[in-house]
Amino acid sequence: MTDLPEQTERKLGLVIDLDICVGCHACAVNCKEWNTGGHSGPLTDMSPYGDSPSGVWFNRIHTFEVNDPETGTGRTVHFPKSCLHCEDAPCVTVCPTGASYKREEDGIVLVNADICIGCKLCSWACPYGAREYDETEGVMKKCTLCVDKIYNDSLPEESRVPACVSTCPVGARSFGDLGDPDSDVSRLVEARGGFELMPEQGTRPVNRYLPPRPRKGPPPQEASGPAEDRAPRMLDHDGGDPDGAGRIARWIDRALSS
């Protein structure tokens, strides 16, 4: 119903490192802070101090455990999720009014609130659940990739990045042109095995996630290596030996005087 551009000049998007995200929600809160006064604001909150507070967020963090029944080990995954600015965005093609659209110049998917009729077809079409309906205003809202921030010449240059990116305290979020294979974000994705979310859905998302790095396994209990070989000598408990203390003191003397 609404056409996608055949191609975009750039593919602006986010790269999110699941290895170092700690799940602090700073990205989500700063996103709400910027965007509630931005292009698709306000990000309305219903029952804000009541029994079931719920509001519009462009970015949400889902936290879950992934367990390996074989080893009995598990890990906690913090998974921030926002619009992935898909190349084959089903939320755009399903839109009956042209309110949902993908920009030719940078690939950002936006909603034109003036012609959105709140039919919610886009939220049904999005396999990621990234669309946010504002019941009060009767229109659909979503991540704008901070389109009103990244080109905003009233901000200092270093601030012209999405709010979620600039606020991340651990640097788990990067931003750039994923359509340029030589861009820094593309290099990062290549080097770290960045992946698409749910590629089987055929939406060709632009955003990428970097997987957790492989963990160092627990050292074998019986292993002996250089460190283990030395351990007994350095941890020689006296076991009643009257000279045990003297021995350690002499060792410290040697270590400090050499």
Partner 1 sequence: MLGGARTLEDGRKAVPVFELMARRYLRDEHSPDAVAERVGISAATIRRIAAELAEAAFEQEIVVEQPWTDWLGRRHDRIVGRPVSMHGMRGISAHSNGFHTCRAIHLLQALLGSVDTPGGWRYKAPFPKPIPPGPKPAGVTTAPDTPLGGMPIGNPTGPEDLIVDDAGQPLRIDKAYSWEHPLAAHGLMHMVLHNAWAGDPYPVDVLMMYMANMAWNSSMNVPATIKYLTDKNPDGSYKIPKFIYADAFASETVAYADLVLPDTTYLERWDCISLLDRPISSAHGPGDAIRQPVCAPDRDVRPFQEVLIDLGARLQLPGFAHEDGTPKYPGGYPDYIVNHQRGPGIGPLAGWRGDGESFGRGEPNPDQLDRYIENGCFCAQDFPDDAQYMKPFNRAYLDYAHRMGWMPSAEPVIFQLYSETLQKFRLAARGHGAHQPPPEHRDRVAQYFDPLPFWYAPFEEAALEGGDFPIHAITQRPMHMYHSWGSQNAWLRQITSKNRLFIHDDLADALGVRDEDWIWVHGHGGKLRRRARRMRGTNPSTVWTWNAIGKRKGAWGLSQAAPEASDGFLLNHVISDLLPEREGGHRYSNSDPVTGQAAWYDLRVRIERCADQSAEGCVPAFEALDAPHPPPILQYGADVKADPCQAEGVPCREWIGNRHEYAASVEGLAEGHGGDATPKLKAAE
Among 6, 49, 71, 216, binds partner 1 (CB under 8 A): 49
State the minimum distance, in angstroms, from the CB of residue 133 to partner 1. 15
Told to check if 70 binds partner 1 by CB under 8 A, we report no
Among 7, 53, 62, 98, binds partner 1 (CB under 8 A): 53
Told to check if 170 binds partner 1 by CB under 8 A, we report yes
Supply φ then ψ for residue 77, to 5 degrees: -115, 130
Among 1, 3, 76, 98, binds partner 1 (CB under 8 A): 76
Could you say which residues in the range 6-25 bind partner 1, by CB under 8 A? 9-10, 12, 17, 20, 22-25
Neighbouring C-beta atoms of residue 104, cutoff 10 Å: 13
For partner 1, the closer CB: 83 or 161: 161
Among 2, 36, 93, 201, binds partner 1 (CB under 8 A): 36
State the minimum distance, in angstroms, from the CB of residue 114 to partner 1. 9
State the minimum distance, in angstroms, from the CB of residue 189 to partner 1. 9
Distance, CA of 30 to CA of 59 (rounded, Å)? 10
Could you say which residues in the range 96-155 bind partner 1, by CB under 8 A? 104-106, 112, 136, 147-148, 150-153
For partner 1, the closer CB: 170 or 198: 170
Q: Which x/- pattern over 183-202 shows residues binding partner 1 (rule: CB under 8 A)?
A: xxx-xx--xx----------
Of 80-88, 94-102, 115-123, 250-258: span binding partner 1 (CB under 8 A): 250-258
State the minimum distance, in angstroms, from the CB of residue 113 to partner 1. 9
Distance, CA of 1 to CA of 92 (rounded, Å)? 8
Among 96, 98, 138, 171, binds partner 1 (CB under 8 A): 171
Told to check if 67 binds partner 1 by CB under 8 A, we report yes
Among 2, 5, 45, 212, binds partner 1 (CB under 8 A): 45
3-state secondary structure the chain: CCCCCCCCCCCEEEEEECCCCCCCCHHHHHHHHHHCCCCCCCCCEECCCCCCCEECCCEEEEEEEEEECCCCEEEEEEEEEECCCCCCCHHHHCCCCCCEEECCCCCCEEECCCCCCCCCHHHHHCCCCCCEEECCCCEEECCCCCHHHHCCCCCCHHHCCCHHHHHCCCCCEEEEECCCCCCHHHHHHHHHCCECCCHHHCCCCCCEEECCCCCCCCCCCCCCCHHHHHHHHHCCCCCCCCCHHHHHHHHHHHHHHC
